[in-house]
């Protein structure tokens, strides 16, 4: 075989590999789309039922020590957005969000204080994740105006959500949960190939406070 023919053979091998990779990528992207569409339809139907049922919300605490009143989940809404990728309309994300308010019907004032920086950061991370309105007050002491403690005053009203982020390039989906089982966010990632429909029932159980294997 001449050197030119060797180069031709190498080029053909690379072209064949590139074609195979493109085909695999296309199949992977199509699978992610199908799974995301299934999730969207499930969440949309779930939200319709939960708007009527208004299940109990999770037990909430900003600092892990100061409990909120018993909460109710309501106003469930689903949104799905798409994006254009190489001329194709693909899912960008799917999200279901809802309100958490006291079952007694009255939003009350709460307050927690922290002295350690790590504790303060954790409290504010939880407040932000749950979209809780709050005010931060710092207590400082002379002569160097050193920070002694931080108080957070907040309203006992929050927002919870389940957001599904598909990644067509990697063939994966990431579930991000905010204020579903508590105030600490949670995540679950899996491949589209590993997805099974019963997982969505487990997610629904988690949302309404029943024993679940979702996480």
5 pLDDT higher than 90:
no
Element (H or E) spanning 35, and its range?
Answer: helix 3-53
Can you tell me the mean pLDDT for 134-153?
92
Beta strands in the chain (DSSP E): 71-85, 88-102, 109-114, 134-141, 146-155, 158-167, 172-178, 186-191
- In this predicted structure, what is the pLDDT of residue 35? 97
Q: Is 190 exposed, middle or buried (0-12, 13-18, 19+ CB in 10 A)?
A: middle
- In this predicted structure, what is the pLDDT of residue 142? 87
7 pLDDT higher than 80:
no
- In this predicted structure, what is the pLDDT of residue 25? 73
Can you tell me the mean pLDDT for 37-44?
98
Can you tell me the mean pLDDT for 122-146?
93
183 pLDDT higher than 90:
yes
Q: What is the mean pLDDT of the chain?
A: 92
Q: pLDDT (tens digit, 9 = 90+) per residue, 16-34?
A: 676 666 656 778 999 999 9
**Do the beta carbons of residue 214 and residue 199 sit within 8 Å?**
yes
Lowest mean pLDDT among 33-42, 84-93, 122-131, 174-183: 84-93
4-35: b (≥16 Cβ within 10 Å) or e:
eeeeeeeeeeeeeeeeeeeeeeeebbebbbeb
Can you tell me the mean pLDDT for 1-16?
77
- In this predicted structure, what is the pLDDT of residue 19? 65
**Do the beta carbons of residue 31 and residue 192 sit within 8 Å?**
yes
């Amino acid at each position: 075989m001449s050197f030119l023919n060797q180069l031709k053979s190498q080029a053909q091998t690379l072209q064949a590999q590139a074609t195979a990779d493109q085909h695999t990528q296309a199949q992977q992207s199509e699978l992610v789309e199908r799974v995301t569409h299934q999730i969207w339809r499930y969440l949309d139907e779930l939200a319709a039922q939960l708007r009527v049922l208004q299940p109990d919300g999770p037990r909430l605490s900003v600092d892990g020590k100061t409990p909120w009143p018993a909460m109710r989940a309501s106003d469930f809404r689903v949104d799905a957005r798409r994006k254009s990728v190489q001329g194709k309309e693909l899912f960008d994300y799917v999200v279901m969000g809802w309100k958490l308010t006291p079952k007694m019907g009255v939003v009350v004032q709460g307050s927690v204080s922290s002295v350690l920086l790590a504790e303060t950061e954790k409290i504010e991370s939880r407040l932000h994740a749950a979209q809780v309105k709050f005010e931060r007050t710092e207590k400082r002491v002379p002569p160097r105006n050193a920070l002694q403690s931080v108080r957070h005053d907040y309203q006992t009203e929050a927002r919870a959500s389940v957001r599904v982020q598909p990644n067509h390039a990697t063939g994966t989906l990431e579930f991000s949960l905010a204020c579903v089982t508590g105030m600490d966010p949670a995540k679950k990632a899996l491949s589209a190939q590993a997805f099974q429909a019963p997982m969505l029932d487990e997610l629904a159980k988690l949302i309404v406070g029943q024993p679940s294997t979702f996480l």
